[in-house]
Structures are given as structure tokens and as C-alpha cells.
Structure 1
Amino acid sequence: MTHLQPAHPLEHWLSPELARVSPPDASSRLRQLADAQGTLAAGWSSAIAGGPVLALAGAFFSVMSGNPATALVLAPLGAVLMLLGIFGWKRVRSALPRTDKVLITRGPGSARGGIAMVLFLAAIIGAFIFPTLPSAAAKGGSTAVTLVGIYVLTLALLVACIIVPSTVMGRARQSFRLRVKTNPRLRRAVEEDLAVWRDPYGNAAYGPL
């Protein structure tokens, strides 16, 4: 089976200048691939960032309780979670994602949006915790330290689950462009896709990115 030659080479569609003059909400095949890959990578980035938080939580509660059991359970789980995240992160970023299924995300799609959401949630949680600190300190220093520790761990979890993935998604297109230019395997996959892809609904172009 023969395919028509693409109207433009891949390097044309990868041009940052072309992307700058194109509306950011305009759809293209390259943007669809980059956004889908970014969404998958964002999920794995949460696992990478969440693993250390899990291990830190285990260490904190073990220290506060004097019982090492929590650390012995949560530290290995955190390490496994981080390793799985690294494996998945590398795998999805080196291959083209499937685009026949819509990936739905509920969180913010940029670092700025992620930071704003975490600050908002941190303020709400802090409004419940900080008023109780004086009475907790009066009962014993360890109670207040536990409350502050829980608050810090909650913030760390919010960073891992919201800010980190939203940053990855916000940079999905720039990151995809860089990897296509530096990763021969990914570039070959995109060039093969360019050679065979045709807009099923009209005459949309392959790019820009």
C-alpha cells in the first residue's frame, strides 16, 4: 500500500515560530499526541513524587509513635511506587500514545493553576489546624508537633498530586518537541505517523505543535 507524501516535513511542523503564530487552542495531530503523552506522563510523575512523601510519612509517624512498624511498611511501598513511576514515565515518553480514547483530567493544566489550587487548599486545611495549636501545645509538645507534621505532609502530598502533574501537562508540548528532536526512536515513530496520518473528519494539517 502506498501513501501520499506529506505536504510538509516534520521539521516544518515542529517549528516553534509556527506554534507561536497558531492559536494555542487550535487542534492538530501533533498537539493531540503531545497532550495525550503529557497526560500519561503527568500520572506517572505523581507516582514518582508521591513515593518519597509516603516514605517520609512512615518515618515521621514512626518517630512520633516510637514504633518503627509504620516506616517499615510505608518506606518500601514508597520506594516501589517511585520505581514504578520512573519506569512508566520513561516508557510513555519514548513512544507515541494511543489517541483513540479520550483522556479526561480533572486537575489544573499548568504549573500556575496547580500552585493556585494547592495554596487554596493549604489555606482551608490550615484554617482548621492552626487554631487548635495553642490548646494542643498546652496538652503536650508532641501533639502540636504531630499536627504541624500532618499539615506539612499534607502539603507535600498536594504538591506531588497537583503541582507536579500540572507542571508536566503545562509543558507537554515543549517537552514533546524537545524529545522528538533528541530521541531517535520517538522521532521515527512520529515520522511514520506523519507519513500515514490523514484527518478522518476533514483536511486538518498535521501540525503545528
Structure 2
Amino acid sequence: MTTDDYMSDPTSFPAVRAEHPLDYWISPELARVSPPTAPSRLRQLADAQGTLAAAWSSAIGSGPLLLLAGGFGSALSGDPAWVLILGLLGAALTALGLVSWKRVRSTLPNTDRILIARGPGSARGGVTMVSVLALILAGILATALPGTASRGTAALLALGGAYVLFLALLAALILVPSVVLGRARRSFRRRVQTDPGLRAAVEGDLAVWRDPHGNAAYGPL
């Protein structure tokens, strides 16, 4: 099958891939003429890696959130233990997330394990979900606002601070991972082109991989 044949029918993948180098399979032009849902080994690798990276991105974002929550708790209670304990936990979580993030993005994922992402898979979906949840909570808190206001300024500040923390939690657990997932394939392509170690791993996989269930091709991405 020639490249022209493929371009005329993107769902028909060639059974023999040895004649095509990695640059052919990762080319943006090939991806543009292929349906986004068409399966390929490269897409499987990119999506699995993106799912793992999205999970660790939540850890990275949750670290500063713990520090913020600790500071908020200390400000309300006057006890510095909150910010010290949660700050240390947040720093450890962020450090673990950063190390794991870099490791995940520089190696090929184990695609034998089934990875399920239960959140939105795009930035638009993440923004939509966060906005809906934020509005729901705002409506609930609005019903408590009169009673809270009667208890003074401190109670209002506590309520407002809790709402801000909730928004930050939504951003760390939903919005940031959804952005990572939405950019997984483009990010994978860019790193294959710029990271010699990752490129070597993908080329090694290309040399030995065969579709165990049919005739799926190695790309597009």
C-alpha cells in the first residue's frame, strides 16, 4: 500500500510496516487524515503515558494546595502546626509528583495494564466540569450566607476561604489532568522528536511490535 492509498482511505492501514520509518508514523500530516478514534500502537502508547502523567500532575498540583490549606487552618485557629504539617506533606507530594512525572514521560508505559481515566479528556471538558461543580457549591453556600454573615466578618472570611480552597482542589484534581490528557498525543510527538532516549525506546518498540489482534498499523499519532 502506498502513501497515496492510505491518504485516500485513512482507515485502511498497511499490514507491513517495516518500510515506514518512525518519522512517517509520527508525522502530523498522517494524523490529520486519520480519524481521531482510529487505533494505532503510537496512540495507545501516547494515551497510556498521558493517563499516567495526568495522575502525577494531580499530585504536583495538590502539594501547594496542602500548603495553602495548612496556612488557612493556621490562620483560623492560630495554631502553626497546621501549616507546618500540611506544608511538609505538600512539599513531599510535589517532589514525588515531579520525579514520577519526569520518569513517566521519558519511558514507554506498560500497555498490558488497563488504565482508565474517569475525568474529562480535554481542557474544554475540564473547564466545563469545574465550572458546573463550582456553581453548584456556590449555590449551596449562598443559602448559608445570611446565617454566616450574622456571625461576623471572621465567619464570612472562613466561608470564602473554604470556597477558594474547593476551587483550587477542583483545578488540581480535574482541570490540570484534563489539560494533560488533551495534549497527550501532541506532547508525545514533540518529545519523541526531541528526547533521544524516548525516541530510541519507540524505535525499538516499532522494530518488534505486531498487532496481537489484527492488522493495526504502528501509527498514526
| TM-score grouping bracket, smaller chain normalisation | over 0.9
CA positional deviation for 1:18: 0.5
Shift of 1:22: 0.3
Structure 1: 4+ residue segments shifted above 2 A:
none
Secondary structure of 1:108 counterpart: coil
Q: How many residues align?
A: 206
Deviation at 1:7, TM superposition (A): 2.5
Deviation at 1:60, TM superposition (A): 0.9
Distance 1:41 1:47 in 2: 10
Pairing 1:58-97 to 2, within 5 Å after superposition: 58-97=70-109
Q: CA deviation at 1:65?
A: 1.3
State TM-score, norm by structure 1: 0.96
Structure 2: which amino acid aligns with 1:95? T
Tell me what 2:163 maps to.
151
Give the match's secondary structure for 2:118. Answer: coil
Match of 1:181 in 2: 193
Equivalent residue in structure 1 for 2:28, among 16, 19, 26: 16
* 1:100 equivalent among 87, 109, 112: 112
- Per-residue CA shift, 1:84-138, capped at 9, x if unaligned? 0000000000000000111011111001001100111001111111232232122
Rounded to whole Å, the distance in 1 between the matches of 2:19 and 2:209 is 12
Kindly indicate whether the alpha-carbon contact (under 8 Å) linking 2:17 and 2:218 is maintained by their aligned counterparts in 1.
Answer: no
The residue that corresponds to 1:172 in the other structure is 184
1:205 equivalent in structure 2: 217
How far apart in 1 are the matches of 2:123 and 2:87?
A: 28
How much has 1:5 moved relative to structure 2? 7.3
What corresponds to 2:136 in structure 1? Answer: 124
**In the alignment, is the contact (CA less than 8 A) between 1:50 and 1:160 conserved in 2?**
yes
What do residues 158-200 of structure 1 show as CA deviations (whole Å, max 9, x unaligned)? 0000000011001000000000000000000000000000111
Please tell me the root mean square deviation across aligned C-alpha atoms, in Å: 1.1
Q: Could you report, residue by residue, the CA deviation over 1:34-75 in whole angstroms, capped at 9, with x for unpaired residues?
A: 000000000000000110011001001101211111111100
Unaligned runs of 5+ in 1: none
* Range that drifts further, 155-164 or 195-204: 195-204
Match of 1:57 among 65, 69, 72: 69
State TM-score, norm by structure 2. Answer: 0.91
Q: Does structure 2 retain, via aligned residues, the 8 Å contact 1:29–1:207? A: yes
Paired with 1:81 and 1:178, the residues of 2 have a C-alpha distance of: 27
Query: What letter matches 2:214 in structure 1?
Result: G
